[in-house]
């Protein structure tokens, strides 16, 4: 549905006006992928008219796509060379399931911690806003304990991604909503009711861009 794509793009553009979005069609559906400013890959699969308008694996400006969505106009100019992040190797395997409401509470608590540290400092000492943010994002929010293999750490980066992209939905209205903690190789992800967020291995943050193609 176009409304689902618009919701994804709208939240993405609010976080990063210059973001690009990668469109990967499969049948009557298309998955929208984007990299958030804090190094997390987010994706949402939608059905409907958008899938029919995508000729293949293409990257375009998120703001430009949002402006033309549903207008019947062609896709915005291709920006394949601007895509810099690998995609997860698969949908992965679920290692544990957590309540969406718990993730929402973790995100709210983290925001409160950031506000308090910003105004009062840490241990009585002032700390820069960026340093505080990075430390918070790297904090391990959840440790999953699968039956086989070692523990899986879910950092605040992933929690913030599913919350800020609206992937949890309304946790007050749907208290039973669940989120899967997934792994795909060395990737760690959260698969929420309305989208997925993946944290790639450090080596995957910069990759060879997709092959650029001329418009038209």
Which tokens hold the place of 91?
A: 């949908």
For residues 129 and 157, the model is more confident at: 157
Q: What is the mean pLDDT of residues 183-191?
A: 96
For residues 127 and 63, the model is more confident at: 63
Task: Give which of 38, 44, 37, 40 is closest to 5, Cα–Cα.
Answer: 44
Return the domain boundaries, the chain: 2-82, 93-181
What does the alpha-carbon distance between residue 12 and residue 5 come to, in Å, rounded to a whole number? 11
CATH superfamily of 2-82: DNA Polymerase III, subunit A, domain 2 (3.10.150.10)
Predicted pLDDT of residue 148: 81
Predicted pLDDT of residue 116: 64
What does the alpha-carbon distance between residue 142 and residue 151 come to, in Å, rounded to a whole number? 10
Q: What is the mean pLDDT of residues 183-193?
A: 96
For residues 25 and 202, the model is more confident at: 25
Predicted pLDDT of residue 132: 61
Flag whether pLDDT at 127 surpasses 60: no
Flag whether pLDDT at 205 surpasses 50: no
pLDDT tens sequence across 98-117: 999 999 999 988 877 766 65
| CB-count burial class (<10 Å; 0-12, 13-18, 19+) for 10 | middle
Task: Give which of 164, 41, 33 is closest to 103, Cα–Cα.
Answer: 164
pLDDT tens sequence across 132-156: 677 788 899 999 998 888 899 999 9
Percent of the chain surpassing pLDDT 70: 84
Q: What is the mean pLDDT of residues 14-21?
A: 96
Indicate the pLDDT class of residue 45, thresholds 50, 70 and 90. Answer: very high
């Amino acid at each position: 549905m176009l409304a689902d794509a618009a919701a994804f793009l709208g939240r993405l553009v609010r976080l990063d006006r210059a973001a690009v979005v990668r469109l990967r069609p499969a049948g009557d559906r298309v998955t929208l992928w984007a990299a958030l400013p804090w190094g997390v890959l987010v994706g949402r699969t939608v059905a409907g008219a958008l899938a029919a308008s995508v000729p293949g694996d293409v990257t375009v400006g998120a703001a430009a796509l949002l402006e033309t969505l549903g207008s019947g106009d062609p896709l915005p100019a291709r920006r394949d060379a601007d895509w810099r992040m690998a995609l997860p190797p698969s949908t992965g395997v679920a290692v544990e399931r957590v309540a969406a409401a718990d993730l929402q509470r973790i995100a709210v608590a983290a925001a409160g911690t950031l506000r308090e540290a910003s105004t009062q400092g840490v241990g009585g000492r002032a700390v820069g806003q960026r340093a505080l943010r990075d430390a918070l994002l790297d904090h391990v929010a959840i440790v999953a304990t699968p039956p086989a293999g070692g523990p899986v750490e879910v950092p605040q980066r992933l929690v913030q991604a599913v919350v800020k992209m609206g992937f949890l939905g309304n946790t007050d209205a749907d208290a039973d909503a669940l989120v899967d903690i997934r792994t795909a190789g060395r990737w760690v992800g959260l698969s929420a009711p309305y989208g997925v967020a993946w944290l790639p291995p450090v080596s995957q943050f910069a990759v060879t861009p997709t092959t650029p193609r001329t418009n038209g």
